[in-house]
Each structure stands twice: as C-alpha cells, then as structure tokens.
Amino acid sequence: MTGSRQTSSATKESENLFIVVSQLRMPYTTILLIVCCAVFYYRVGESEYGSGGPLALASVALWAIASFALGFGWLGNLLVQVALFFALTVWNMIRRGRKGM
C-alpha cells in the first residue's frame, strides 16, 4: 500500500515538474527577431548616419518597451519596428529637404 502511494506521489511530482519546465521554454523566435531588427537598424545607421550603434540600441529599446510596458507580442513589436523605419524615412526626407533650400 505504501509503495503505490509513493509511486503515485512520484508520478504527480514528475507531471508537475514537466508542466513547469514546459512553461519555461526559451522564446527563440523573439530573440531571433530582436537580433535581426538590431542588425538591420545597425546597417541603416551605418549607411545613413555614420554610426549604427545608437539606432540599433533604439530598436532594442523600443522592442523592450513594447514587450514589457505595452504587452505586445512579436507581431506587434514588428509593427513598432516598421513604424520606426517609416519615422526615420520621414526624418531623412525632412532633413534632406532643409539642406536643399
């Protein structure tokens, strides 16, 4: 009788451990997307502004703010990155328009 109780108790503990471990999976897709966006904005910064570090840092900071403060998922964060790209495009168009005057 005691052996069967210990077996069922051990089985329950292993099931609970499996549930906890399955909930702690590493978000590889999210990490890959953060790195890809940071590399992209680093390259944009290098070609447009001469220094890519601040722009890559801004990309990662926006991703963190959108994830933790606003609760966005990876799709929402990608939309934030697209918005950053369009904001930079508008900024460059305005800046180049002033230089031409």
Single pTM value for the model: 0.68
Give me 33's structure tokens: 């997307």
Res 50 pLDDT > 60: yes
Domain ranges (residues) in the chain: 27-100
Q: Report whether pLDDT(20) > 80.
A: no
In the block, tokens 């940071």 appear at: 38
